[in-house]
Amino acid sequence: MTAKTALPEIYVSTDVETDGPVAGRHSMLSIGSAAYAPDKTLLGTFSANLETVPGLMADEHTAKWWATQPAAWAACRLDQEAPAAAMRRYVAWLKALPGRPVFVAYPAAFDFPFVQWYLDSYADENPFGYAVIDIKTYAMAVLRRPYRACGKQAMPADWFDPAPHTHVALDDALEQGALFCNMLAANLARR
């Protein structure tokens, strides 16, 4: 076993806010990550609001949704950074974690493509590689139910910590990270 594989996994719960549904066509407005040890110890957080990418256009339907979320919109437009600066800072933060980062999201199919595109475009590296966990897929395995029957409404109440879902990237990353760690503990307890 090499030293690299001996490092513990760090679950990096990540949420992004965007101006459309497609990475590379639409801009990531905000990223929030919360790094958790498997025992739910919060090891650190990262957040950044990003400037939009020149040449990428906002999606009309997403803009209409943002109009219904004025507080979250205002939060993701504060203190904007150039994408290159933010993503280099993100890579440095990921590399400083005491283990190997695993990307965790709900749904990972939305969040990871944006993070991957921004890392590849602006930081020239992706510390996650393709180590990605989708929370709903993990729920499918733990609950032993079909994927479409594993939404949050089907999950046990004790998997949820009292945390708001605000559409502010870091808040939502903390919320879903705690959810994932609670699922992990429930799964391990069944062994």
Q: Which domains does the chain have, with CATH numbers?
A: 9-189 (3.30.420.10)
Give the dihedral sign, CA 71/48/126/4: negative
| Confidence at residue 146, expressed as pLDDT on a 0 to 100 scale | 97
Q: Of 117, 89, 78, 107, give the one whose Cα is nearest residue 172.
A: 107
Rg of the chain over all Cα atoms, to the nearest angstrom: 17
| Confidence at residue 164, expressed as pLDDT on a 0 to 100 scale | 87
Q: Of 110, 182, 133, give the one whose Cα is nearest residue 9.
A: 133
Distance (Å, whole) CA 97 – CA 42: 11
Cβ atoms < 10 Å from Cβ of 135: 22
Distances (CA, A) of 133 to 67, 69, 76, 109, 127: 31, 28, 25, 10, 15
| Confidence at residue 112, expressed as pLDDT on a 0 to 100 scale | 98
**Strand, coil or helix: what is 36?**
strand
Q: Which residues have CB under 8 Å from 131's CB, separation 6+?
A: 9, 100, 101, 102, 103
**Strand, coil or helix: what is 18?**
strand
| Confidence at residue 1, expressed as pLDDT on a 0 to 100 scale | 45
Q: Which residues have CB under 8 Å from 125's CB, separation 6+?
A: 91, 119
Q: Of 166, 13, 165, 26, give the one whose Cα is nearest residue 83.
A: 26
pLDDT tens for the chain, residues 1 to 191: 455 557 899 999 999 999 999 999 999 999 999 999 999 999 999 999 999 999 999 999 999 999 999 999 999 999 999 999 999 999 999 999 999 999 999 999 999 999 999 999 999 999 999 999 999 999 999 999 999 999 999 999 999 999 889 999 999 999 999 999 999 999 998 86
pTM of the model: 0.95
